[in-house]
A and B are shown apart, each in its own frame.
Chain A
Amino acid sequence: MPNTSSSKKHCQDQPQLSGPIPKSHMAKSEENKKNSGKKLKDVEISVPIVYGNIAFWLGKKASEYQSHKWTIYVRGASNEDLGVIIKRVVFQLHSSFNNPMRVVDAPPFELSEAGWGEFEIAITLYFHSDVCDKPLNLYHHLKLYPEDENSSMSTKKPVVVELYDEIVFPDPSEAFLARVLNHPAVHLPRLPAGLTLPPPIPVEDASKRRKGDTKDNPLSQWFLNFSEADELLQLAAARQQVQAHISKLKRQISLIEGQHKQLKSSSDQ
């Protein structure tokens, strides 16, 4: 299974706090329903997402108030279905739009509109009840016009701005964990040995309504790739440099200290 991230480095960072608290300390309740309230303190679930917008210039068909056709979206980083975690997404558009609060109830979580202006869109992610009670806010500045002022706008090539981020659930419930155990959209650390999870309770299955992943979304050809490998390499190289510099300076310091000592001892005679 590619998703059980035994190959990933971050699992070694677990746990960050003092060791796993034995389950007997957790609030146990007789009711089965309350069992979903049990949280695991040494497991952290992260969901990599990419959010952003794609904007097409309408060219000849553009009018003064509708010069671009744009789509704002939240997708899984590798185009996986986010419906397992996210129940619905609310996009808050500029007040000049009709019904500026747009709700998307099923994946793919995207919204298409036509307009001429760039503005900040507030994206609120609402999760399923066993995932998290509180919504999460993201902000994205809609970009329609290309960075380079001189480059001409073409109807074929859109302006794409995407940002990578990860949603982190520091203490997921067991029910949530059971449900997403093998899902490709979710990154799990290595689970503690002997962890028994209750059988997964399916939530309202949004995939019955629409296709949840964005693998064959017509826009997927424009999606950007985000690989952590490059970044890691960059960082590792930088760290090496810095470390080398540090040891060099340390050597210099010890040398000077040695000299001072010698001078001092020599003048003491």
Chain B
Amino acid sequence: MDVKDILGLPQISFPVLENNSQPHNQSQRKPDDISREVYALTGGLAPLIPAVDLSLLNKRPQSDEKVIWKWLPFKNSARKDDLQLYHWQVQVLNGVPPTEDYSFAKYNKSADITRYTDEEYEKYLANPKWTKEETDQLFELCERFNLRFIVIADRFPSSRTVEELKDRYYSVSRAILIARNPSSGDVAVHPLVKEPYNVSHEKERKRAMSLVLSQTRQQERRDEEVLAEAKRIAELRLMTKVAEEAELVVTSNAGEDVTERANPSPSNMQLPPIVVPSPITTDNASTVASLRMLHVYLRTYALEQMLQSASSSAGLRTINRVDQTLQELGVNLKPRVPTKAVCAEHLELRNEILTLLNIQKQLQNKEAEGSSFRDGSNCETTGTPKRSHRGDQDRTFVPDNTSSGGERIGKRDQKRKASGRHSEVPSSPAQLKRQKKL
């Protein structure tokens, strides 16, 4: 906001002046010469460069002499007829009327259109798609409307698209130029010659523009998402590539003699490191090796590295569950007193929680296995005596079994009858255990 910032001038560093970025900020002071409401219209901030010198606005003309205006004729070189027009002009003191050209005449510019002769047309410019008549008409209109092709396209007697008209005009002009200056090198630099008009490219470009303009908000959002996703994937790939390279470097370095100080040691970064040590070391030993490379580090940093290497092998959800479990156990997610012993214990605890979660999952799988094991109807193979037994077990189970799914009740009708009494015995302890757990 400060002009001095933009210009790069050194600032006067009173703590008074520049506490702008602090949370308890007051709004900027308004300049004195315009009213508060007007200033607020600008958004409460001063413009970078004031458009008008504010002090001049309030100035009044100081001279006391009378200013005389006269109604005088003037010359206008922009007009092609002889019409004489008049306007008010300030009378200059010495009485001589000004004889300059009308001040706006200099803006009367038009495009430079080369016209061809008939011979030239026959020699160079003949084209199956265009008659001479049409080409003549085109050039007439171009001159009249100063190359405003949209208007020209409107006015053109036969319907031609803007691209076609442009194409014809530019190719004709180009051909004429080259024909008239075959040997001159200057022509080659002429933009018409250097960059010929490309119809298909133009059509494509306009189509793409209209697509972009007509995109709905939804499409915009979706496009942004896709791009962001692509960027993320690209970065990930880059990171893994860098990490792989870094790992190779780290593991090869770990074996070397560390006393060689000549080796460029990696900078000790407290921020998430980029190259060495790599954050995606999957091995505990390699984390340790990369830490050693640092020569000095903070215990909390080391802990973080270990955690990151552990979490790269597990998923984000697992890590969240571990964190949740830690909280339930009343343990700080980051130890308050991170000594060596405490950090070691912390890591061990996390590993044990991971084991716990794995075992829980195993247990669930086993139980699911068990239920599908008995529920033979899930299998599509041909009926075997084995399954008939299970079907029977089904029947005996169902009344007692509360945890197994209700879908089995319908399916047991398909089973053949067979003796399965002996199966009751092992089932009931399982039932009891399951009910107890529930």
Q: Are B299 and A228 in contact (CB under 8 A)?
A: no
Q: Majority SS of interface residues in chain A?
A: mixed
The residue of chain B having its C-beta at the shortest distance from the C-beta of A39 within the complex is B259
Q: Are B331 and A235 in contact (CB under 8 A)?
A: yes
Bound-state CA distance A110–B359 (Å) is 50
Q: Are B288 and A168 in contact (CB under 8 A)?
A: no
Interface residues on A, range: 35 or more
Bound-state CA distance A161–B302 (Å) is 22
Contacts A134-B296, A138-B270; A256 near B342 (Cβ below 8 A): no
Contact of B360 among A131, A226, A249 (CB under 8 A): A249
Check: A147 CB closer than 8 A to any chain B CB.
Answer: no
Q: Are B344 and A39 in contact (CB under 8 A)?
A: no
A10-18, A151-159, A178-186, A215-223 - the one binding chain B = A10-18
Bound-state CA distance A117–B329 (Å) is 37
Q: Are B370 and A166 in contact (CB under 8 A)?
A: no
Per the CB 8 Å criterion, the residue count for chain B at the interface is 77
B51-59, B157-165, B173-181, B348-356 - the one binding chain A = B348-356
Check: A267 CB closer than 8 A to any chain B CB.
Answer: yes
Q: Which A residues lie within 8 Å of B437 (CB)?
A: 252
A93-101, A195-203, A204-212 - the one binding chain B = A93-101
The residue of chain B having its C-beta at the shortest distance from the C-beta of A10 within the complex is B340
Check: B339 CB closer than 8 A to any chain A CB.
Answer: yes
Contact of A259 among B285, B292, B389, B426 (CB under 8 A): B426
Bound-state CA distance A46–B298 (Å) is 9
- Convert B363-381 into 0s and 1s, putting 1 for each residue whose CB lies closer than 8 angstroms to a CB of A: 1001101100110000000
Check: B258 CB closer than 8 A to any chain A CB.
Answer: yes
Contacts A46-B340, A267-B386; A170 near B295 (Cβ below 8 A): yes
Q: Are B257 and A26 in contact (CB under 8 A)?
A: yes
Contacts A166-B339, A169-B296; A235 near B257 (Cβ below 8 A): no
Check: A268 CB closer than 8 A to any chain B CB.
Answer: yes
Q: Are B342 and A117 in contact (CB under 8 A)?
A: no
Q: Are A132 and B24 in contact (CB under 8 A)?
A: no
A56 to chain B, nearest CB (A): 18
Which interface residue of B23, B292, B341, B360 has the most chain A CB atoms within 10 A? B341
B17 to chain A, nearest CB (A): 8
Q: Are A231 and B352 in contact (CB under 8 A)?
A: no
B39 to chain A, nearest CB (A): 23
Q: Are B15 and A171 in contact (CB under 8 A)?
A: no
Number of residue pairs across A and B with beta carbons under 8 Å?
Answer: 210
The residue of chain A having its C-beta at the shortest distance from the C-beta of B291 within the complex is A170
The residue of chain A having its C-beta at the shortest distance from the C-beta of B433 within the complex is A255
Q: Are A97 and B15 in contact (CB under 8 A)?
A: yes
A173 to chain B, nearest CB (A): 9
B109 to chain A, nearest CB (A): 52
Q: Are B18 and A166 in contact (CB under 8 A)?
A: no
B148-156, B260-268, B272-280 - the one binding chain A = B260-268
Q: Which A residues lie within 8 Å of B337 (CB)?
A: 164, 226-228, 230-231
- Convert A106-124 into 0s and 1s, putting 1 for each residue whose CB lies closer than 8 angstroms to a CB of B: 0000000001111100000
Check: A243 CB closer than 8 A to any chain B CB.
Answer: yes
A130 to chain B, nearest CB (A): 12
Q: Are A137 and B270 in contact (CB under 8 A)?
A: yes
Q: Are A27 and B259 in contact (CB under 8 A)?
A: yes
Q: Which A residues lie within 8 Å of B386 (CB)?
A: 267-268
Contact of B346 among A9, A97, A235, A256 (CB under 8 A): A235
Q: Are A115 and B338 in contact (CB under 8 A)?
A: no
Q: Are B259 and A38 in contact (CB under 8 A)?
A: yes
- Residues of A5-46 at the interface with B, using a CB-CB cut-off of 8 Å, are 8-10, 13, 16-17, 25-27, 37-39, 41, 46
- Residues of B286-341 at the interface with A, using a CB-CB cut-off of 8 Å, are 288-289, 291-292, 294-300, 302, 325-326, 329-332, 335-341
Task: A39-B259, A97-B13, A165-B338 given; name 11 further pairs at CB < 8 Å.
Answer: A65-B19, A97-B15, A134-B265, A231-B335, A235-B345, A238-B326, A256-B363, A256-B366, A256-B430, A259-B370, A263-B423
Which residues from chain B sit less than 8 Å from chain A, CB to CB? 13, 15-16, 18-19, 22-24, 254, 257-261, 265, 267-270, 285, 288-289, 291-292, 294-300, 302, 325-326, 329-332, 335-342, 344-346, 348-349, 352-353, 355-356, 359-360, 362-363, 366-367, 369-370, 373-374, 386, 389-390, 393, 422-423, 426-427, 429-430, 433, 437
